Each structure stands twice: as C-alpha cells, then as structure tokens.
Structure 1
Amino acid sequence: MRFSFRTLRFRGALAVLACLLAMPWCALQAAERPYSVEVGYSPALDLFNLLDNLPDWLPGYTSSVYQKEWQRRFGLDDQDRALLAGYAAFRLRTSPLARDEVKSATPADRLFAGADTRTGDPYSRHFLAARTFDAGLVAALAGLDGKDQRLLRQYYAHFAPRAAQLLAAQAPFAAQQAALVRQLAAPAVVDLAEQMKAFFHVDDSPAFQVRFVWWPEAGRTQAKLRGGYILLFSTFETEDDWAPIVMHEYSHYLSAGQPLTQRRALADAFVAACPAALALPNPLNALEEPLAIYWGQYRFEQQVRGQALPVASAWYVQPHADRAAKALAAAFPATESAPSLKAGRLLQAAASACAASKDGAP
C-alpha cells in the first residue's frame, strides 16, 4: 500500500508541511578518513523528533519541553490530549526502551553502553534515514495492525501541520553544520578518533551520523544517541561548542561495539573493585560515562586544542561520573600516551570514585 499525506485528509493545511518535506536531505561529509562522521539536517527526522517528544511518553528518552512549548504557542484541548495519550500508550506498549530489564541485565549491560545505542528504538529507526517523513511513515506503518495504523494516521494528521510551522526556518542549522564539519575534519580530531577506536578495540568503521534537531529552549542544549545517530538538540540560532559533545557521544557509540567477551571481563573486574557501582541510580555513571568524559572532553581539550580542563570545574553534571573521569585523567594524563582498556590501573582509577560514594556522595 502506498501511504501519502493525502490519506491523512488535511490537504489544505499541508502547504507549509509540503514545502518543508520537499527540502532535499543534506549531509556534509566531515572527512574522507578511516573514521567517518557525517553532519547534516533531515527535515523528516526533525519533524518526527518533535512529534515523538510531544506526548513525553518516556521521560528521559523524551522531553517535556516540547509539550510545554506547544501549549504556549497553540494550547492543548481535549482532543489534543486524547491523541497525545493514545500515541504515548502505543509507544509504551511497543518500544523495548519502555521495558524494565534491569533485574535481568548482566553487569556488562549495566556498566557499558548497550546494543540499543547502535540499533535504537525500532519505530524511530524508520525515520532516522528517511528521505521524507512520508517515506518513513510508510515503513513505520508496515506490519502494524489496523487499529494502530488508524491511531498513528490520526495523530500525525492532527499535529503535523502545526509542527511543520515550528520547523519552517530558512536554511536550518546551516551555520552550525558548517562549523562542526570543519572542526571534526581537523587532523587532530581524526587522530583522536582513531585512538578511541583502538582503545575500545573496535575495528568496524560505519559512518557516525550527526543530525541537528530543533529544541525549544534557548538557554541550554543537549545531545542524545539514537540508533547510531547522535541528535544535537538546539534552537536554530544557538551556537554551541558541539565538537567535544560529538566526540563524547562517539565514545559511547564505540563502547557499544566492544567485543562481548571484553565487555564481560571488564565489567566483572570493575564490579570486584567497585561493588557499589551496580547500586548507583544509573550504573553507567560508574564507568561508561567517565570513559566518555575522559576521551570526548578531557583528551579532546588537550590533544585538539592544547588546553587543560580545569580540575576545579565540573566536567559532567553527575558527581560520581565527574569524580571518576578526573581520577582517570590524574592516572593517565592527556600529555602522555593513551591508556589501554583492560583490568588493572585504568579500572582501579575509575573505581577510586566509589570511596566517595560510600561516604554518601551520589
């Protein structure tokens, strides 16, 4: 079956949306090197991201700021709320991300970035590389039962035209894309990326996809991994220092591709040195995040920019991860050769942050 926006029965309201979706998808190649990062903007992905966040169906994965901005601009009536609730119920029912699998997860799955870092949410995956929102939706609806198809068609028919209005900026993120491409193509960044690959013992070199998406809050930005893509959440006007953020997330992407035997051995050794790690609200802050901070921020700042991150400043918002990253930096200064990812000094340095946690620090 060919699905088109005409079947959604809002032809007259789609003038802005059609203009947006007709824009060619654009990706800018950062470097023709063994490591490859592609920076771009996809109208289809941006539109999907807004609509998927709108009900805030999984806080932490989704964000409430989209609904707050929507209500400020358009308001929310009973029909809006009913459709938002229906979409949220569909996503919670069908997405593996909504399932609590902590009890059955192994230490390796809890301490390191999981496979979903690369595979992503099955429904969202249809829109990551879609040339148009229409094409992504055709793929997303295939295999769903009639009830879910009707729900999704009604949801998108109702919200997509106004969502498109929010995203109808001229040449969105053009300046940010160009600046980021230049930074990521620098030889020092390419060398750092190759060191990171060697550190995690990852040989494959799929292109790491970077996409800008609209974010309602001008005062702050964020970045999230979505199935091998890193989404940079920003207003159209915001200029941010994205390069270290991308390399931080690139560390998570590589970590998720570690050999399984390596992940298990490292996790078991780390838990032996820091049993409290698995009791943290988010065990990723014990080892996974400190490694990403160490590579994407600490070593990036030294090796790429020739500067040192001030130890007195916060390198990361979560205190335990911040302490562990600084312990890694003290044990393995960026002015020296990179460490090896193996049991021994590196895990002991990261585990030293557990002592502070025992004293009551988070």
Structure 2
Amino acid sequence: MKHIYNFSAGPAVLPAEVLQQARDEMVDWHGSGMSVMEMSHRGKEFMSIAAKTEADLRELAGIPDNYKVLFLSGGASSQFAMVPMNLLRGKKSANYINTGEWSKKAIKEAKRYCAVHIAASSEDANFTYVPPQNVWNIDREAAYLHYTPNETIGGVEFNWTPDLAHLGVEMPLVADMSSSFMSRPLDVARFGMIYAGAQKNVGPAGLCIVIVREDLLGTTVPGTPTMFDYKTHADNDSMYNTPPTYPMYICGLVLEWLKKKGGLAEMERINIAKANLLYDFLDKTDFYHCPVGKADRSRMNVPFTLKDTGLDEEFLKQAKEQGLVQLKGHRSVGGMRASIYNAMPPEGVKVLVEFMKEFARTHA
C-alpha cells in the first residue's frame, strides 16, 4: 500500500495503530464472535466499551463529577440548535463571538430560537484574528456566551480561554471545540458546556461528544423534541436510542492511544512543535503567505496561499505525487490548508515543508 500523509480537515487522519487494531478486531471483538458494529448497544460487550471510553475521556480531559458526558449522533452542527434549545432556560438572548464560518453557522441557527447578541467579531478583517477580550461587548442578561475556539476553515484559534469572571459576567461559557478537542489540556470547570464532532482528533464522522454541567440540564424551550433534550441522553447514559456505536468504539481506541502517547500535555507539546515547523517556514518565504495574525494561528489548521495563484493546481498535483494529499483549501476561501491534527505524525509536516521548499525553488 502506498504511504501517504493525509492533511484533510475532516474526516481526518486517524492513528495508524488505531486503524490496525480496528482491522484486527473487525470480525471478532475480544473473542465475542461479533464485530463491534453488529453488537447490541445494550449488551455487556458494548456496554463495557462505552464505559471505558467515557472513563478514559474523563481521565484525559479531567472532567469533574458534576459534568455529564454524552455521545450523540448528528455531528456538531446539530448542537447549533440544541445549545439554545437547552441552555436558554427562559432567557431571550444569547451572546456569540463571531470568528469565522463555523461561528456564523452557529449564529444563524441560534437566531431561530432567540435574539443573538454579537459580543465581538473579526469579520472586519476577513476573520484573520481573534477579538481580544477587552473589546468584547457582552449582553449581561443573556443566557450564555458561545464561541468557537478553533475555526477549521480560516485557521484562527483562541490560544487562551475566555475569562468571564474577570469581566464580572456570570453565565455559562459554551465552546464548539470540534477541531481542537483533545489537542491540548482542558480546564473543563471553566465551561458550562463543550461539544465537539469526533472526526478531527478523536474518531470517525458520526459521533459528537457533549460535556455539559449538570445544573444546566432539564429546562428546554417549548416544543423541544425528546431527542434534542440533553437530559434525555444524560438520564439514559447516552443509550436512549441506539448511539453511534462503531464511532464510539474507534473513539475509545483513540483515547487509549492518547494515554499511551502521554496524555494531553504531551500531545500539546507535539502539536506546538509541528505547527511551529510549518509556520516558521511560511514566515521565512515570500513565495507562500499565511493570512492569520501570528498570535491567533491555529495549531490544527494551517491555511496558506501561493504568491502566484496560477500555480495552485500544479502545487496540488505535485504534492499528491509525493504522497501529500487533501491540501486544497476550503471552497469558501481557496488557497491551501494543511490540517495537522493529533494523528498527523511530525514526519508528515517535515515532508510537507521539504516539498514546499523544493516547489518554491523550482517555480520562483
């Protein structure tokens, strides 16, 4: 099999060890005679998988006991509606920070259920920076404040956690962590709720992980479907309906891999080194350009353009020939994007940088 480095933004690269273990266990999980994908979600075999997956997640992320962990279908995009449905709790408005395309999608959906107050936005500079907290204008009567710590498309990342207490604001902080979840240590207690699609750093598409403080459960907007009520899932240990069992299993294998790698602190160290290698090169050349402000650059998604955009297709063609795939930027912004999630080995970034150097030398 040809070896490639997959820089896809999601579904993204998974650890080779995880894929190999899943292959070995495909038709017979631990002597059960069954594949995980054909097990009853209420059988003792899968219940043991689910319990260990949650336990490992709680251990790695340091999740306090007063938070529920939910394994849901529908991806993070379903949470754009489920957040206001569950967290408005009788209030009429919610705060949102607008830092890119995924923030905009969350805002658009929330407007179906409440008045959305844009507490800060970087749209004035085409979403190339994170608005500093000292310029935020927060509606203090709103139900919560929602933000997107890492914008997958634009490559902008909060390299700090908002401190609402410092601003004298008391309300839940809600984060769509889809593309940075488990890439660095978490202080879960600073959040009312965290949600993340699994297909970036912790598993395949089809699973969304929700971490929500218990006191925020139980009050939904009128007409909320049973399946969209977090309490429904919390009260049933994510087994109210058949959950995404196989993605949960793969997620569990990824979490085991993360523990073997040394946990989130070690993962952060590796991710910083990978990102620095690529950004340092981009900053030393005028052949390529990264549009994001240095303080707000994503460790996960690195967008860049070529000086001559007429070379884009040739760049992608030659990159693919070298085993470097999925580098084309999102259709809404163009250019290139290298997604270097947890499972991207440092060697992949090194090979990419060497290719970029050679391509620039031969096309300058």
The TM-score bracket by the shorter chain reads 0.3 to 0.5
The two structures have a TM-score, normalised by structure 1, of: 0.34
Structure with the higher fraction of residues in helix conformation: 1
Q: TM-score, normalised by structure 2?
A: 0.34
